[in-house]
Structure 1
Amino acid sequence: MNASVPPLNALTAAASARKILQRLHDVMAARTNAQAKLNKVVEIIGEELSSEVCSIYLLREGLLELFATRGLNQDAVHVTKLALGEGLVGTIAQNVETLNLDEAAAHPDYAYRPETGEELFHSFAGVPIVRREKAVGVLAVQHVEPRPYQEVEIEALQTVAMVLAELIANAGLIDIHPGEERRFETGTGVVQGLQLVMGMGRGHAVFHQPRVTIEHTVAEDTEVERQRVISAFSKMREQIDRMTGQAEFGVDGDHKEVLETYKMFAYDEGWARRINEAIDSGLTAEAAIERVQQRTRMRMRQIDDPLLRDRMHDLEDLANRLLRIVSGQLGTAAQSGLRQDTILIARNLGPAELLEYDRRRLKGVILEEGSLTAHVIIVARAMGIPVMGRMRDVRHQLNDGDLILMDVTDNRVVIRPSVSMDEAFSAKLAMTQKKRAGYAAMRDLPAVTRDGIRIELMVNAGLRDDVASVDVMGADGIGLFRTEFQFLVSATLPQRERQQRLYRDVLDAAGNKPVIFRTVDIGGDKALPYLRSEDSDGEENPAMGWRALRLALERDGLMKVQARALLDAAAGRTLYVMFPLISEPWEMEEARKLFDSQRELLAVQKHKLPSAIKYGAMLEVPALAEVLDQLLPMLDFLSIGTNDLTQFLFAADRAHPKLAERYDWLSIAIMRFLDRIVKACVEHKVPVGVCGEMGGRTTEAMALLGLGMRRLSITPASVGPVKAMIRSLELAPLEIEMQRLLTSGVRTVRPALMDWAAEKGVELG
């Protein structure tokens, strides 16, 4: 835009977009060839936006080809081609993102093409042309004057690009993007993903959501379209209210808070306003919803924060629901009903949509995306439905009705299994159910070894519902209650009364069994959108960053509120408090001082206080092992967090696919490290246990007991197998064998331990 033309304001942007859409509709309806239409399109956009350059690049044979331009050299048309990721245009298409630059040549991805003559132009704005969630081209404008484009100008371009996508697709100008059409496979396939909710399931593939086809994008009467959206919003909100009111899980839980947060999005006036603004630009109701949804997807791709990304998934779920209502295309698998045992397939899923399914027929869920902190996972866990995520392109590997065998515990999904594979799976499922029945029969039996040593077998928890597993599995209490889950599922910082209510409910549910509350472990890869720290933004190693106790001591107001909530909730009872990610003894000292100060404050205010407070620390940072003589006198107990500790010891991210198998929990390095910690704790008479995943595996748990551990806190599903192992074990000979193995020179004690267990008749499951 030259200096004599003022930038667009919100009203002129909407008016320009509306006028462009009307003119484009007439052009594409004309009886001229496709090239002539595109030539006219760039002229229209350039004129309406007062743009010196307007260019359209389309994806053809894997390359972005300059198809039409106003302002660049015409000789470059069909000559200039860029690969995905190459240059500014290629970057826009590859990342499905918008670029807005006041100086194009300064961008690191800038690639000069001399045949275009673009060296005359400084400012650059480009938006992807998206069709069915894939970038099939790029719409770009350029100006001589260096200046960033206003948001309203970018929105006008994005609106035009959306309509342009359908118009050029109908003209046959773009490739059918790879993977866009379903590949109907027939052979057996075995795939892996991200384990989200453990369990096994056998059922037939059902696709959650057929694609909504938008047939008309340009509005004839914007007021009519606005009324259609208002009506759709009203109907959608009624549906959400009804579902959240009917959700039944047996007991109240954090999934209720998840649904309330989800409901908040449904009533978000900002979202409705953005859709109405898109209608003002000339789009139909369906196209306006899709336009806003496209923008949400682009934002999701740019968000590093997993929690915020999960919230955006909730919003997209609602947008899908709204789009189906307004278009009249209401058919999801839930509406049509499940006719047989089903494994549900979806790109992503919202919590309310999951609730629509018949729980008797729904045996599992497979997501192309998904994360451990997503709201739908919390709801699925409460419903007892196994879920596997991060299974890329799985929707294109399946046919509707294909038989699927899903074993989340083994990270294994079998598609279209052979008869023998199906029989083996069914046998394992039956065996698992039989074992579960056997473990259930041991529920009231203590975890005592054959030579009479009592082991504390506790469970890890994070939701109010998880507490029920203490009695169901016959556990001795909760060895790790992750208090941050309440923070992760909340849209705002939980107030003290709400925290106190949760902690009291957990203590009441546990009865006379102990509950060890870990203070909030947020920050790093568990960032909260409502509690940001400049020090943690863009951390390269979030697991080792500004998180857990480090963050809590800095934000001491947050920790003081939690301390008061815990102290009030545990009135008249013993309160067990554990601090995460301690690196040096002074951090433990500061944390205790903070809690003690809040206890004194409540005493002055005449609050009823806990009968006793037991303070503990999590040993996750290896440095802490070097100062145990200073730390242990401050502690009532010590818990070893083996998940973080192991990756810190080996400098190996356990989530990295190439590193996950590089270290063994039973390696001699870890065994010797843990042995040293146990001996120091015994010397100082401080109880020590493990509250990581390591303790939930029978062979690893046996090794820990052999080192002297007497308390394990594990997942509820692991209690039965580990208890069976303990009751089949004679501990004294195992301790002798472990000390021998520590000096034997072996790389890992695993093979020798498994042989020893087989010889002694130890049940490893």
Structure 2
Amino acid sequence: MTNAPLGPTTTSSAVKAARTILTRLHEVMASRSHAQAKLNTVVEVIGESLDSEVCSIYLLREGMLELFATRGLAQEAVHVTRMAIGEGLVGTIAAKAEMLNLAEAAAHPDFSYRPETGEDKFHSFAGVPIVRRERCVGVVCVQHVDPRRYEEVEIEALQTVAMVLSELIANAELVDEEEALGLTAAQTGPEQLRGLTLVKGLASGVAVFHQPRITIEHVMAEDTEAERQRVYMAFDKMREQIDRMAGQAEFGVGGEHEEVLETYKMFAYDEGWSRRINEAIDSGLTAEAAIERVQQRTRMRMRQIDDPLLADRMHDLEDLSNRLLRIVSGQLGTAASMGLRSDAILIARNLGPAELLEYDKRRLKGVVLEEGSLTAHVVIVARAMGIPVLGRVKSLRGIVREGDPLLLDADQQLLFVRPTRDMAIAFDERFAKTRERQATYAALREVQPVTADGTRIVVNINAGLREDMPNLQLTGADGVGLFRTEFQFLVSATLPSRERQTRLYREVMDSAGAKPVIFRTVDIGGDKSLPYLRHDGEDHEENPAMGWRALRVALERDGLLKVQARALLEAAAGRTLHVMFPMISEPWEFDAAKAVFEGQIAHMRNLKKALPEAVKYGAMLEVPALAEVLDILLPKLSFLSIGTNDLTQFLLAADRSHPKLAERYDWLSPAILRFIRRIAAEGHAHNVPMTVCGEMGGRQLEALALLGLGIRQLSITPASVGPTKALVSKVNLPEITAAMAGWLANPPADMRGTLMAWAVERDLLAD
């Protein structure tokens, strides 16, 4: 069979020529020849088609790139010439998994001359990686005597050839699949990635992608028209999904998110993208291979453009390409639906709370996100589940591969990919120390937290899920100081019915037994938007934490609060109900919320329904303004909780999720400590129990400061109960109270450092 070279050509003729190449390759693949003979024929086909004197194929063998077949170079070099990953132009292509197109090969800094090949007379060079299961397993390259850059259509033809070679290599088992799980220093060597700690903790396991990439098993199409119809249907389905996503109430009207979605939709409806996929099908590729071919080309182009905005757009197109691949292949499930087979670290761009809860909690050890923020719903749920989370890890998908061993150190903001033996040993030592401390803390389960001077401190846990309740017994905590009822709303696809809410609250109280549970009414809105609950007149909020949320939403939508009140009252029949209202800024809001509950009590009494023995009402102090009217509010309360997470960012005007303000969000700021001391003093004066809820109370140094400010009740994460009990047993309250009074009267330049030195001198803190 004769074939005219590609050369510079129009799109239609390029497609025709590419199809001719594929047709010839199809004949090669279908022949009864052995693998080496097929490779020998392939290099001849490509060399002729691209009018190149040289075409060579290098494959991975025993960690080295070996010349397997060539047209134009010395045949004696076949199976003799070998180069390391990153060595020479071929090694560079393999190391970076990127193509090269050079008019003068010797001018490239990575050029490495191999005399046994006889390549000294060739000037131009182009090569593309051969990728199998997301791994580079070889390189196909062409060379020419005359200095020239290869045309774009020629590079696309090479990429198509590389996809076909990937299938041939797999079927003929020319490379070891296990060895091909990694190739380059960047793909097999150890990597250390840095991110943002979203939930602290240590974990180890293999990398599992939440949305697994599709493995393309068949490259060449038997019926191009059938493949085209598959793509058309997939495009229609994908566009329906995008339109539905854009129309969800959760996004509201206006704002930056709308622009992002419009850009996303623009890609989904981009005729140029769909046309390029169709052209790839015309050349003889299957639907999956055509999508992947276009995706590979887009990646290579975008990597050459140093523009952050365009990089973000590439991320959108990558996401859409993966979505289209999943649809066309019929592989729509996440890793959760397929089940985890071993201890795993989940890798995702972003994750919803309901998606996290789908995973087997026995096998899921950690989560790493390309995006993510401290206030994301999934972070709240992960913290409650005790799963460490690292967010904002750049280049995650480009470095981590499915099945890679990972060590997650969220405490130090690090992810170790394919760790060395020394890394693993050091990590295991840290892990062992952590487990030893946990064992020590577990031994304190039955020990009451009493200070060295004999003062009983109340240590409660925070919860929000039914699954959290066993921690009450495991830690020996005094009760649940904060049950976040919004978790049920966040993980539900629809508004939870009264029956569902009642069942949850009853099960929670049954699990707690005689220990008290303080239920905080639902805190939704702001940054906790629900797709099924649209707020009237909702606009994009620049500061959602300070916006239309929590009790503000509940009082406006009193039907929501009435249903929750009824559910809580029914669940607590015959018991004492502790209920707390969040985000109160003025006393009238507490009065209005309490009136809703009292109205439901009266209604239930008329219906002869069983009622709680007593209802104790409390408030959460998060808004600083409430501190100015505590003399009015405190006489109405059974208890007051200080929500240090929101309170601190409001007092310091420092968004806790903003990386540049992280150092300013300091709980040991003298201003924060003085404020809490004033609140504690007012609570004691009115004989109203005061509890600090939030992360501040769960850190040993901060907890020490709180004890010195007069706080005698803490509500913290279950993991913090043991360390806090250990601290409490060593503390002399009069001593820390006097020290805090002195420091706050004349604050040191470094309050944190001063308190740390004081605590270390007295051996109060755990290692």
Q: Name the TM-score, length of structure 1 as normaliser.
A: 0.62
- Pairwise CA distance, 1:409: 3.5
Of 390, 393, 397 in structure 2, the residue corresponding to residue 391 of structure 1 is 393
Which residue of 2 is the match for residue 668 of structure 1? 670
Where does 1:91-240 land on structure 2 (aligned, <5 Å)? 170=156, 184=186, 189-195=191-197, 198-203=200-205, 205=207, 209-213=212-216, 215=219, 220-221=225-226
Equivalent of 2:656, from 651, 654, 674? 654
Q: Counterparts of 1:544-693 in structure 2 under 5 Å?
A: 544-693=546-695
The residue that corresponds to 1:483 in the other structure is 485
Q: CA deviation at 1:744?
A: 1.9
CA–CA distance in 2 between the matches of 1:331 and 1:516? 36
Residue in 2 that maps onto 1:543 = 545
- Counterpart-to-counterpart distance in 2, 1:640 and 1:197: 21
Matched-pair contact (CA < 8 Å) for 1:212–1:324: no
CA offset at residue 729 of structure 1?
1.3
SS at match of 1:665: coil
Note if contact 1:668-1:747 (Cα within 8 Å) is conserved in structure 2: no
Kept in 2: contact 1:289–1:319 (CA 8 A): no
**Aligned 8 A contact 1:184 1:398 in 2:** no
The match for 1:518 is 520
Provide the rounded CA distance (Å) in 1 between the counterparts of 2:375 and 2:648: 22
Is contact 2:384–2:463 with CA below 8 Å preserved after alignment? no
**Secondary structure at 1:658 match in 2:** helix
Against the structure 1 CA distance between its residues 476 and 352, is the aligned structure 2 distance closer, same or farther, given a 3 Å change threshold? closer
Q: In 1, are the aligned partners of 2:204 and 2:344 still within 8 Å (CA)?
A: yes
Equivalents in 2 of 1:584, 1:382: separation in Å? 30
**Kept after mapping to 1: 8 A contact 2:219/2:286:** no
**Partner Cα distance (1:372, 1:315) in 2:** 26
Tell me what 1:531 maps to.
533
* Number of the residue aligned with 1:460: 462
Instruction: Supply the distance in 2 between the matched residues of 1:34 and 1:375 (Cα, whole angstroms).
Output: 53
Distance 1:314 1:636 in 2: 51
Q: CA deviation at 1:634?
A: 1.4
- In structure 1, the residue matched to 2:747 is 745
Number of residue pairs the alignment of both structures matches: 539
Give me the whole-angstrom Cα distance separating, in 1, the residues matched to 2:490 and 2:319: 14
1:397/1:684 Cα in 2 relative to 1: closer, same or farther (>3 Å)?
A: same
Instruction: Give distance in 2, aligned partners of 1:355 and 1:648.
Output: 31
In structure 2, what residue type is equivalent to 1:452?
G
CA distance in 2, matches of 1:357, 1:562: 28
- 1:37 corresponds in structure 2 to 11
Map 1:141-540 onto structure 2 (within 5 A). Answer: 170=156, 184=186, 189-195=191-197, 198-203=200-205, 205=207, 209-213=212-216, 215=219, 220-221=225-226, 323-325=328-330, 343-347=345-349, 363-369=365-371, 386-398=388-400, 403-417=405-419, 420-540=422-542
Q: 1:548 to 1:314 in 2, by over 3 A?
A: farther
In the alignment, the residues of structure 1 paired with residue 376 and residue 524 of structure 2 have an alpha-carbon distance, to the nearest angstrom, of: 16
State the Cα deviation string for residues 119-177 of structure 1 (Å, max 9, x = none).
xxxxxxxxxxxxxxxxxxxxxxxxxxxxxxxxxxxxxxxxxxxxxxx999835799x9x
The Cα of 1:490 is off from its aligned counterpart by 1.1
**Structure 2 contact 652–665 (Cα < 8 Å) conserved:** yes
The answer for the alignment partner of 2:712 in structure 1 is: 710
Aligned 8 A contact 1:192 1:411 in 2: yes
Measure the CA separation in 1 of the matches of 2:740 and 2:329.
62
Q: 1:719 and 1:505 mapped to 2: Cα distance?
A: 23
Q: Measured at CA, do residues 674 and 223 of structure 1 come closer, stay the same or move farther in structure 2, by a change above 3 Å?
A: closer
Q: Deviations over 1:200-242 (max 9, x none)?
A: 123455667344448579962499959999xx9xxxxxxxxxx
Question: What letter is aligned with 2:225?
Answer: E
2-structure distance, mates of 1:613, 1:30: 88
Q: Are the counterparts in 1 of residues 219 and 288 from structure 2 also a CA contact under 8 Å?
A: no
Structure 2 letter corresponding to 1:472: L
CA distance in structure 2 between the aligned counterparts of 1:336 and 1:525, rounded to whole angstroms: 31
Out of 213-222 and 194-203, give the one that drifted further: 213-222
Structure 2 residue identity aligned to 1:433: R
- What corresponds to 1:736 in structure 2? 738
Q: 1:680 to 1:316 in 2, by over 3 A?
A: farther
Using the alignment, how far apart are the partners of 2:194 and 2:625 within structure 1? 35
Give the whole-Å Cα distance in 1 for the aligned partners of 2:194 and 2:713: 33
Is the contact between residue 289 and residue 323 of structure 1 (CA under 8 Å) also seen in structure 2? no
Contact 2:481 2:715 in 1 (8 A): yes
Is contact 2:709–2:737 with CA below 8 Å preserved after alignment? yes
C-alpha distance 226-37 of structure 1, shift in aligned 2 (>3 A): closer
Write the distance in 1 (CA, Å) between the matches of 2:476 and 2:468.
Answer: 13
What letter is aligned with 2:10?
A
What is the Cα deviation at residue 502 of structure 1? 0.7
Judge conservation of contact 2:460–2:715 (CA < 8 Å) in 1: yes
Return the letter of the residue paired with 1:391.
V
**Structure exhibiting the larger radius of gyration computed from Cα positions:** 2
Structure 1 residue 405: Cα displacement: 2.2
Deviation at 1:597, TM superposition (A): 0.9
Q: Deviations over 1:278-299 (max 9, x none)?
A: 9xx99999669989xx9xxxxx
Other structure's SS at 1:689 match: strand
Rounded Cα–Cα distance in structure 1 between residues aligned with 2:290 and 2:525 = 34
- Aligned-partner SS, 2:664: coil
Partners of 1:374 and 1:674 in 2: how far apart? Answer: 27
Retained in 1: the 8 A contact 2:445–2:475?
A: yes
Is the contact between residue 14 and residue 153 of structure 2 (CA under 8 Å) also seen in structure 1?
no
Q: Give the partner amino acid of 1:607.
A: K
Residue 390 (structure 1) shift: 3.1
Instruction: Provide, for residues 685-727 of structure 1, a one-character-per-residue CA deviation record: whole Å limited to 9, x for no partner.
Output: 1111101110000010011011111110001111111111001
Q: What is the CA-CA distance between 1:661 and the residue it aligns to?
A: 1.4
Where do 5+ consecutive residues of structure 2 fail to align? 16-151, 163-182, 238-268, 296-317
**Is the contact made by 2:520 and 2:579 (CA closer than 8 Å) also made in structure 1?**
yes
Separation in 1 of the partners of 2:488 and 2:549?
Answer: 16
What amino acid is aligned across from residue 170 of structure 1 in structure 2? E
After superposition, the C-alpha distances for 1:548-574 in whole angstroms (9 at most, x for unaligned) are 111111111110111001111111111
Matched-pair contact (CA < 8 Å) for 1:199–1:408: yes
**Equivalents in 2 of 1:357, 1:550: separation in Å?**
34
**Distance in 1 between residues matched to 2:532 and 2:154, nearest whole Å:** 42
| TM value normalised by structure 2 | 0.61
Q: Relative to 1, partners in 2 of residues 1:494 and 1:633: Cα closer, same or farther, differing over 3 Å?
A: same
Rate the CA distance shift 1:216–1:351 in 2: closer, same or farther, 3 A. Answer: farther
Q: Show the counterpart of 2:307.
A: none
- The CA distance in 2 between the partners of 1:315 and 1:500, in whole Å, is 41
Evaluate the alpha carbon distance shift between residue 522 and residue 331 of structure 1 in structure 2; reply closer, same or farther with a 3 A threshold.
closer
Answer whether contact 1:518 1:580 (CA < 8 A) is retained.
yes
* Deviates most, 529-538 or 393-402: 393-402
2:83 alignment counterpart:
none
Matches of 2:483 and 2:670 in 1, distance apart? 30
Counterpart residue identity of residue 37, structure 1: T
Q: CA deviation at 1:630?
A: 1.0
